[in-house]
Each structure stands twice: as structure tokens, then as C-alpha cells.
Amino acid sequence: MTRRVRSVLLLSAACSALSACPSPSTPTRAASPPPVPPEAAPWALAVSVYPLDGGARALLLPRQPERFAAAVLFPVDAATDEPPSLEGLTRFMLEAALLETEGDDDRAAGPARRALLLGGAIHAYDDGAVAGWWVEGPERAGPGLLRLLRDVALSPRFPATRIQARAEMAREELAQTHTDLALRGLGWAVGLALGAGRPLADGPLDGTLARLHREDLARAHARLVTPARAVVAVEGVAPDLVAQIFRGWTAPPAPPPLAAGCAPAVAYQAWVAGPDGDARVVIGVPAPGPGDADRAALEELLAEADTHGVVGGPRVTLADRGARSVLVLESDGLAPDALEPVERWLADLGRALPGEAAAAPLGPRLRRAELRVRSEHALARLTSAGRAALGLLDGEATAAPGASALAITTLPADAAARARVLRALRDPDRRVRVAVGPDEARRRLELWGPVVNATRATSLCARPSGDGGDAGTR
Amino acid sequence: MLERKTTRPAPPRRKLHAAAVAAVALPLLVGTTAAARAGVDNPVEGVAVVESVVDGADTVSVRVALALGLDAEGEGTWGLSALALAALRDGPTRHLKAGEAVTVAARAGLVTTAGLGRDHVEVTVTGPPEALETALWLAAERLDPRDVEPAELEALHEALVATPGNAPTPPAPPLEHTFANLFGPLGGNTAWASHQRAESEPLDPLAALVADALPRARALVLVAGPARALAQAAPMRARTFASLAPRPGGPPPRRDASLDADWQARRPDKVAARQAHDSRRLVTVAWDLRGLAPRLGLSTSEDDAFRRVLTTLVAAPGGLLLEPLRDDWALVRDVDVLAPGALPAVVVTATVRGRSGAEARARILDVMADLVARGAPEHVFDGARTRALAELTATWGDPAARVALITDWVSLGYDPAANEATYEDIAAALADMREQEFRRWADYALDPSRRVVVELTPTQAPDEERIVLDADTLGSYLRLLVDLRCPPPGRTFELVELLASKYQLTPEEYLALTRVVAREPARMAELNHEAEQRCLEYKKLRGIMPARRVLALHRAVLCETRGLSGDDEDRVLAAVFRRFDLDPSVYRPLLAMSREDPALLPQIERVERECAPAAAP
């Protein structure tokens, strides 16, 4: 080998190692993906906690360049916070608070217009465990948006006539888009799985909208939005300003306690009458709720299941209700094998994906990545901080409640937790079934046992003691 | 920075030394100079790689977009985009088996999403910065596909649609009509339609088209993330993409008929259509906003900024449309504004209350005319402008949202290499915008010649709002109640059959009618009482004479009096009633009751035809 050739080869090798400069050899691609190094700096959210008047807490998140966002959040649990026969009241209250506030200078300029004038926006938020309102906008509009948030959270006006009009519109929407049956089916599955004996739907049902009154909303607001329960999560302004704007926040006089409902009856199967076109079977299984030690395992399993589509599989929803949750699996149609996709999905849950070793589940890394991707959005950061402070974060490590700082990060679930969750989800004795459809749907369910007709029922009450506590079922 | 890198013969020795120096310096340059913050690289023909630095981001995002979008579909190629998307996301590649790419991504902590637009199909992976090299490797693999059998392609498409987040949602009912009328015959093609056709059109020719187009279609790879991560992955990126085969181009783009002058001239002004999706009544007003910049002497960035402010003014809560239409006039329940990033248009869809969309349509047009004539109130305009800028800033700060934004810009004809400059230009235009300039733009943009109004009324599903409780409707409902309450002796009615044969009602329409009647309890009680009375009367009448004797009586009355009049007719009639031992006053009620029996009615009508009076000469 001549010196000239040797020097060219040496240079070429150095070049390839250092950069992408043109090489005499044809570029090739590695046959396998490059190994992923361990996370250089695990994703974490550092939150400072400051006390506010009335026992509320301010959570200060790192500032984002040129942006401002803030939220007032409080814990919710439909099973205990909403009076019987007014299911979905909380969600309607959150929207109704955006109609008008005591702080509006001009009645024509409600909160939405006030937010727009500041170059921002205000929204209601409800994920079943935590609810409230949040604002976003440019950094310089921060103080104005924070005052608007305070007005909505602390002094909504709930104008009676506009509320009635909104309720009527919501009823029209349910009727014309045929969504009431779907809401009822899911609501009953969640309610029965949690032993509430009534539907715990994702929004107000037609019956709730027909019954509710302005005073119901005012009472719900007084009960839920108190400084002792609430946190104010903010990114983009100083803590002094938050304290100044929320100064003097005191709890309103305690509202009368909720009317005592009946003792719920235990039922495992229900039927909601509906047309053929809307026929479906809804399965509810109690699952680890927000704040539960096994929640991370559940989320890892669901992240794995979402990676690949299962043709003909059920629709899967994780419904949080306060600190408890229900995994809801919906399958369309009323064929005799309508439950087969649900069984198949549950059997496949936690199994290794194609090409994946069973010993190394994808879930932990995938779940951490999903949280990280979500954390690019202000709402996800605010609600993560709020949930952590309220003890409802989904399995992440946090400092003790009451501390002056929260360190939020993600922890993988251990194998034992995954096994526990899988065992619980696959246990047929823990499931409830709700069929929506014609009479044939009821007959199908009766093959498995007694069925409650939930078509018109607003709750299932146990008969007086001595009657087995299973009344209302047949 | 525009840099071109191609595989070429080894340079002479002196140049190689220079290249070695440059190779050492390149990683330092990337991420440190402003020019390197956004650049385009063409490692091989037909592949463009664009990097965009997102300061302060916590994730990276890599998008592969192939020029195989909805515009490539037409006669013989319907469904091509959806199948191409399935093959791009999950098809076999040089080093991966079918369906493996998503697993590899998940193992590295990358979240995979997929979508299809007018001019592209795309797969995006997003995750932590340390997984960027895996994301780039996956992008290169997806650009190096292997043949896939038709059956396997079909299975991949089914799996794609079944994956949460990828299930195509049907477009809002008016959108297909609106786009078809706004943008020409092919404008109504949607992602939903493409997925549907991928399942219904013959598979083999489509699979052959995909196999042919997938390795050839031009590709754009967008990489967004923090500077440090991009700089570290730069050498690997260059090596990986240089290994790809050239891409000379996919199927030729179809002619966009909507840009033709003759199409523009015959574009309908107003379209009435029916929708079977649900029971909502919808009014859509849409404006085609293409081609405004050159005609108004504006830069494309300024045009983009004006469009963003218009969308915010009409779409944002607290803006010009929603609250007035919903809360002040109670004409609509909701106003949905669509401003697709890759299509210069604004589509306002109102869900109308009541039986007519005319007033809602008129109000929307009034608001927009006012916006042109008088402009928005100054403080509202300023708020909308600030909010549009804040939204743009938020999108720009999120890697996944940024690659989607740049894809839209490429669809609109912007240079992808200049994405940083495009952002700065649009942001500057939003910051400096004056209300008068906006009004001048809106005056031209919202011209009626650019507008299509689409009104959709529901068809199949019952619409309770269309039910009018007039005398006819209530009369029919009462007869139905009586049929159900006291059917003829020994008979039972099958409800669905009765509704269809006698009342021409579907079960859904019957339910809707019942619901409307039941809203008024007093009226319902009155109808029930009336039905009860009529049943009692029927019971008495049935006791007087059985059905076959009613037929005989009717035949006798009609046939025996045929051609008679006056006293002669009265005399014969009296004889008939005596023969049947019946009081004449009972004859009409008996006949009316018998006509209600669907089994008897044809026989009664036959008797009436047989005994009809002779036609006058």
C-alpha cells in the first residue's frame, strides 16, 4: 500500500467517524435501530407551593417564554358531589360559570369576550377527578387573565334565563345527535361498577338538563369551589401577584348537605332500551384510580394496547370518578358473540407485541414518553401539578402534600403491580354489563343472570333490610 | 441554510483535506449559527430533509411526508392515499417486517401518529430527545419500503383504522358538500372517503399502484427539536439518509379544476342538500381565500396573517359570531369554524335551531358584511390579533405542532427551508397589522363571488322540529291510538307493519311524533280521553253488526241506489236499511269504523269501484 493510498484511507476513516462529509464508500444504513441511551435527564416538573388566603395553595410552574397559563382546579367525584337525578351537574356548572361573573364591567362582555380582549382564552376543564377553569394567552396579559380566572372561579353569576336556554339547547343537541343513549350506557356501566346505583355519565343526561335549576348550580359551586379544596396553578407570573389577586378568598357559608339518596342496590347487569341502530354492549370493570399505587401499571398496559390496532376490538375508555376509576369497554351490535372482542382484548392485554420480548414490556418507556409529549402543552403541565398537589397524580412520585415544593416525575410500575392489575381486569366476577338496544338485548343479558331495566330509572334503590338488598333487579 | 449533499466520486487529495476540516467543524456549526437553525438537505434526489430548532423544547418530532395525498386520487385511484398511508406506517422495509416499525418506535419511547392531507400522507414520531437517532432511522426505513402483498396491505389498512387515534372520523355532514362546491369536483374528497374507498374499491389494482408509487413518491422529512439534540444526531442523519435510493416522483398530480376560470365562474352560490347523518339542520357559509396575495400586492406571510385574524374573529369564543347568534338571537346552538391550515378557506357551520336556516344564514352574512363595511370594534380586533399571535407562538414552541405547521406551509407553497423566516414574517405581520389594512383585505376576501352557502336538512332520521301538530297530524295520531287500544275482535296489529301500511310512518318517526305530543301533557290527556271514547263507540258498533255484514250493507247501499236520485233513492235506501234492520244514522259511523281496519279497507274500496255511478256521457 503506497503512502498516498494509506493517507486517503486514514482521512476517509477519520472523516466518517467525525461527520457526514462525502466518503468514497457508498453510505449504508445500520440494519437495526441505534440503541436508545438511558434518559439523560429524566423528565421532571418542579413546582413551588405557596399558601394563599383561606387555605388555598398556589402552584408555581417554570415560566414558558412569551406565554402565560393558569388554572383553578379542585377535586371532583360525581358519585358524592352530585345529587341523585342530577348526574353531570358539575360539568354543566363549569360551563355555566363562563356565562357571566360579578367582575364583568359590562354585562355584554362576558368572560369569553374579556379573555379575547386580552388576547387570550378561558376554558372549563373536567377529567372526572379534577375540574376547574384555565386561561392561556400572551405573557403580558398574565395579570388580566389571572383576574378573569379569579372572577370565574370565585364569583360566577349563573344568570337563570340564560342557563335555562343553554340547558334546552343541550337537550336538543342530545336528541338530534342521538348521543343520550351512548351517555346513559356508559354512565350506567361506570355507576354500577362503582356501586353507586345510578348512572355516572361523562356529561349531563337529558333528565338532568330537564330538571336542573339555577340554584342547583349555585349550590354545586359553593360546595365544590372552596379555598380549602382548590389549588391555583400558574406559569408566567410572580407568586406575589397570585397572592394579591386571590387575596381575601374565604369559603362561602356551607351549603346545605346533599339530599340523602336511597341506599344503592347492587346490580351487575342493566338494560337501556334503544333502537337497533344504537345497539351496543358496555362492560365496566373497576380499575386503579388516580393516586392509586397500581395506576402506573394500568396506564402502561393501556399504552401498550394502544400501540397496535386490534381489528374489530372494543372501544376502550378509562373513566375517572374522583379517586376511583372504571375501565369501560364498548362493543357494537347485539350478535350472540358481541362480547367476544372484549374477551379477546382483555386476554391480549399485557401480552408482548410482535417482535418484542415478553420480559421487557414497552409500557414504562412508552407511558413516560406520552407524558412527556403531553407536557409540551400548558394544560397538561397545569393539571399534572394540580393533581399532584391534590394527591391524584397517576402514579408519579411527588413530595408529601403540604410541602413547599413538588417534584413530579414518572416511575415505572413493577411486574407485581402489572400482574395484580391484569388479574383484577380479567376477573369476570368484577365486571358489570350494560346492554343498549331493543328488547332482544335484554333477553341476551338474561342468559347470564338478573337484569335491571335502566331505561327510565334514575337510580337503583335497595329495598328495606331483610329483602336481600338486591331489589330493583329482576 | 440551503446545502446540497450528494454521493459523488472521491474528491482530489487537497479537497479531501478541506472536507476533513469541514467535517470536524460541522457539528459545531449546527445549532450555533443562525443560518443553521433551519435548513434543507437533499441527501438523494426526491428526498428533502428539513431541520427546525425548537428552543426550550423537551421532545423531538420527526415527520415523513410523501406526496401521495388526496389530490392524487381520482377515477381508478380512489383509496390510494389511505392504502399508501397504511403501507408507509406499517409496511415492510429493508430491515423491518410489516408492523414492526411502530413497535421499534415504542421501544424507544416514541409515539407514532399518522394522517393524510390533500397533497401528502404522513407518519410522525415524537418522543424524548435521546430517541432522535431512532426516529431518524425509522424515517429512513419508511423511505426504503419493500413490496407488500395485496392481502397484507388490506390487513395493514384494517389495523391502521383500528388503532386509537387513527380511526378516521366522518366529516361533519356539510363539509363534503362545501368543499366539493367551493374547490371543485375533487374538493369534496376527504380522508374519511379515502379510507372508505380503500375498503370498497377493487384491491389488487390499488395495491399495485401503492407498490409502484411508494418507493418513487417525493418525500419531505421534517425534524424539530432542541438544538443540542439535532446537532448530536446530525452526522447520523446525514449517513442514514444518504443511503436511500433516489425518488424520481410518484403519480403525476391531477389538474386542479377548481383553479380554472370556468369553474370559478360557474361555482354555485347556494346549495341545498340533505343529510342522513343525524337530525341536525346545518347552515354552512364558506369562502375560498386562495390567490389573494398577488391580487392585493401582499406577501404570502401578510395574507396568512390576515387569514389568522379573520379566523380568530369569527371562531373564538367571545368573537363576532358565536355569542350573538346563540345567546342574543337564539338562532343557533353552535358555531363551528374550520380554517384548514393547508387550504386557504374559512368555513362557518352553524347548527340551527328551529325549522328554517334562513335567518341564521342571513345573520351570518350580516355579521360578515358588517366586518367589511365597518370593521370589528378596535379592541376586539386588537384582542383577536394578539390571540392569533399567541396561538402561532404556542404552536411554534411545540415540536410536534411545528412539523404539522411546516407541512401546511409546504402545502401552501412556502419554501420549507425558510420555515424560520416564514414564522418570523407571519409573527411580524400579526404584530404590525392595522385594522384598516385588515378591512381592505376582508373587503376583497369576503366577496360574494368567493362564497358558497350550503344548507343541509336531515332526511332519514326523524326531526322533531319538523313535526307540526296540526289537525291532520293529531287526527292520525288519535286513529293510531285507537288502533292500538281496541283492534277489531280477534285481530292484533304488528305495530311496525301497521305504521308502515296505514300511516306511512317509520318506527323512529312514530317515536318522534309521540315525543312531541308528550311534551304537552294536557294535549296527551285529551287524546287519551278521546281514544277511550272512540273505543267505547267502536265496541257498541261492533255489537250491532259484524264486518262482513257491513260490507254487504255497503254494497247494497251503493249498488242498489246507482243511477237513482231524489225520492227514488230515498225509497230504495229505506228498504235496504229495513232489510238489514239498521237505523240509518248508524250507517256512516259503521262504515268509518270499518275503513280503519286495514284488512277491510281494500274490500270496501273494491265494492265502491264495482258500484261506482256510471260516468256521465
Q: d(Cα B262, Cα B103) in Å, to the nearest integer?
A: 50
Residue B587 or B28, more confident: B587
Residue A436's CB: how many other CB atoms inside 10 A?
A: 28
Taking CB atoms and an 8 Å cutoff, what residues of chain B touch A136? Answer: 390, 394
Q: Which of A394, A397, A399 is nearest to A367 (CA)?
A: A394
Taking CB atoms and an 8 Å cutoff, what residues of chain B touch A304? Answer: 106
Our CA-based measurement puts residue B386 at a distance from the nearest CA of chain A, in whole angstroms, of 5
Taking CB atoms and an 8 Å cutoff, what residues of chain A touch B127? Answer: 369, 372-373
Q: Which domains does chain A have, with CATH numbers?
A: 45-245 (3.30.830.10), 269-391+411-453 (3.30.830.10)
Q: What is the pLDDT of residue B101?
A: 93
Contact A36 B330 (CB under 8 A): no
**A221-225, A355-359, B532-536: least confident range:** A355-359
Which CATH number does B268-458 carry?
A: 3.30.830.10
Q: Give the nearest partner residue to B238 out of A20, A43, A369, using CB atoms.
A: A20
Within the 255-274 window of chain B, which residues sit less than 8 Å (CB to CB) from chain A? Answer: none
Q: Report yes or no: B445 and B287 within 8 Å, Cβ to Cβ.
A: yes
Q: Give the nearest partner residue to B100 out of A16, A137, A355, using CB atoms.
A: A355
Q: Give the nearest chain B residue to A34 (CA atoms).
A: B134
| B8–A contact, CB cutoff 8 A | yes
Our CA-based measurement puts residue B411 at a distance from the nearest CA of chain A, in whole angstroms, of 25
Q: What is the pLDDT of residue B504?
A: 80
Q: d(Cα B144, Cα B154) in Å, to the nearest integer?
A: 20
Question: Quick one: how many helices (H) and strands (E) in chain B?
Answer: 26, 12
Q: Give the nearest partner residue to B7 out of A26, A116, A178, using CB atoms.
A: A26
Contact B400 A376 (CB under 8 A): yes
pLDDT tens digits, B83-134: 999 999 999 999 999 989 998 998 888 999 999 888 899 999 999 998 999 9
Residue with cell 287524546: B527
Q: Report yes or no: A406 and A399 within 8 Å, Cβ to Cβ.
A: yes
State whether residue B59 is helix, strand or coil. coil
Contact B95 A29 (CB under 8 A): yes
Q: What is the pLDDT of residue A470?
A: 39
Which CATH number does B40-242 carry?
A: 3.30.830.10
Q: Is the pLDDT of residue B259 over 80?
A: no
Percent of chain A with pLDDT over 90: 47
pLDDT tens digits, B390-447: 999 999 999 999 999 999 999 888 888 899 999 999 999 999 999 999 999 999 999 9
Q: Give the nearest partner residue to B26 out of A19, A33, A43, using CB atoms.
A: A19
Q: Strand pairing partners for B335?
A: B350
Contact B279 A66 (CB under 8 A): no
Our CA-based measurement puts residue A120 at a distance from the nearest CA of chain B, in whole angstroms, of 5
| A77–B contact, CB cutoff 8 A | no
The number of C-alpha atoms within 13 Å of A443 and in the hemisphere containing its C-beta is 6
Q: What is the pLDDT of residue A400?
A: 60
Q: Is the pLDDT of residue B29 over 50?
A: no
pLDDT tens digits, B163-218: 877 776 666 655 666 766 666 665 667 788 888 889 888 999 999 999 999 999 99
Our CA-based measurement puts residue A404 at a distance from the nearest CA of chain B, in whole angstroms, of 25
Best A36, A139, A181 residue to mutate vs chain B (most B CBs within 10 Å): A36
Taking CB atoms and an 8 Å cutoff, what residues of chain A touch B13? Answer: 4, 7-8
Percent of chain B with pLDDT over 90: 41
Pairing of strands A57-61, A231-235: parallel
Q: Is the pLDDT of residue B49 over 50?
A: yes
Q: What is the pLDDT of residue B253?
A: 62
**A24-38, A140-154, A258-272, B360-374: least confident range:** A24-38
Q: Which of B32, B30, B39, B5 is nearest to B19 (CA)?
A: B5
DSSP sequence for A229-246: T-EEEEESS-HHHHHHHT
Question: Where in B90-248 does DSSP place strands (E)?
Answer: 111-116, 121-127, 219-225
| A118–B contact, CB cutoff 8 A | yes
Q: Give the nearest chain A residue to B160 (CA atoms).
A: A309
Residue A272 or B615, more confident: A272
Pairing of strands A231-235, A432-437: unpaired
pLDDT tens digits, B34-44: 334 446 788 88
For residue A415, give Cα distances in angstroms to A133, A351, A363, A412: 37, 13, 11, 9
| A328–B contact, CB cutoff 8 A | no
Residue B151's CB: how many other CB atoms inside 10 A?
A: 11
| A278–B contact, CB cutoff 8 A | no
Three-state secondary structure readout of B520-559: CHHHHHHHHHHHHHHHHHHHHHHHHCCHHHHHHHHHHHHH
Q: d(Cα A125, Cα A462) in Å, to the nearest integer?
A: 34
Region of B64 please: left (phi>0), alpha (psi -120 to 50) or beta. beta
Cα separation of the two ends of chain A: 94
Q: Is the pLDDT of residue A218 over 80?
A: yes
pLDDT tens digits, A95-147: 999 999 998 887 668 999 999 999 999 999 999 999 999 999 999 999 999 99
Per-residue pLDDT band at A360 (split at 50, 70, 90): low
Most confident of A332-341, A345-354, B273-282: A332-341
| A112–B contact, CB cutoff 8 A | yes
Q: Do domains B40-242 and B268-458 have the same CATH topology?
A: yes
- Type of residue found at B15: K
Residues whose CB is less than 8 angstroms from the CB of residue A65 and which lie 6 or more positions away in sequence, other chains included: A139, B55, B56, B397
**Which DSSP symbol is given to B220?**
E
Per-residue pLDDT band at B62 (split at 50, 70, 90): very high
Residue-range domain boundaries for chain B: 40-242, 268-458, 464-610
Contact A369 B128 (CB under 8 A): yes
Residue B298 or A455, more confident: B298
Q: What is the pLDDT of residue B329?
A: 85
Q: What is the pLDDT of residue B338?
A: 83
| B142–A contact, CB cutoff 8 A | no
Q: What is the pLDDT of residue B4?
A: 32
Q: What residue spans of A111-141 are helical by DSSP H?
A: 111-117
Per-residue pLDDT band at B385 (split at 50, 70, 90): very high
Taking CB atoms and an 8 Å cutoff, what residues of chain A touch B318? Answer: 109-117
Q: Is the pLDDT of residue B15 over 50?
A: no
| A415–B contact, CB cutoff 8 A | no
Q: Give the nearest partner residue to B380 out of A116, A353, A378, using CB atoms.
A: A116
Contact A173 B351 (CB under 8 A): yes
State whether residue B235 is helix, strand or coil. helix
| A44–B contact, CB cutoff 8 A | no
| A46–B contact, CB cutoff 8 A | no
| A124–B contact, CB cutoff 8 A | no
Taking CB atoms and an 8 Å cutoff, what residues of chain A touch B238? Answer: 19-20
Contact A26 B19 (CB under 8 A): no
| A63–B contact, CB cutoff 8 A | no
Q: d(Cα A392, Cα B477) in Å, to the nearest integer?
A: 55
Q: Give the nearest partner residue to A120 out of B8, B20, B387, using CB atoms.
A: B387
Q: Report yes or no: B345 and B289 within 8 Å, Cβ to Cβ.
A: yes
Our CA-based measurement puts residue A311 at a distance from the nearest CA of chain B, in whole angstroms, of 5
Over range A384-412, report the average pLDDT: 75
Phi, psi of A16 (to 5 degrees): -65, -40
| B134–A contact, CB cutoff 8 A | yes
Q: What is the pLDDT of residue B257?
A: 56
Q: d(Cα B388, Cα B313) in Å, to the nearest integer?
A: 9
| B245–A contact, CB cutoff 8 A | no
Contact A114 B27 (CB under 8 A): no
Q: What is the pLDDT of residue B52?
A: 94
Our CA-based measurement puts residue A440 at a distance from the nearest CA of chain B, in whole angstroms, of 16
Buried b (16+ CB within 10 A) or exposed e, A271-302: bbbbeeebbbbbbbbbbbbbbbebbbbbbbbb
Per-residue pLDDT band at A318 (split at 50, 70, 90): very high
| The C-alpha cell that represents B569 in the structure block | 233513492
Average pLDDT over chain B, rounded to an integer: 83
pLDDT tens digits, B422-431: 999 999 999 9
| B390–A contact, CB cutoff 8 A | yes
Q: Give the nearest chain B residue to A29 (CA atoms).
A: B240
pLDDT tens digits, A404-458: 777 787 777 888 999 999 999 999 999 999 999 888 888 888 888 899 998 878 8
Contact B144 A19 (CB under 8 A): no
Taking CB atoms and an 8 Å cutoff, what residues of chain A touch B379? Answer: 117
Q: What is the pLDDT of residue A468?
A: 35
- Type of residue found at B301: S
Q: Give the nearest partner residue to A118 out of B144, B164, B383, using CB atoms.
A: B383
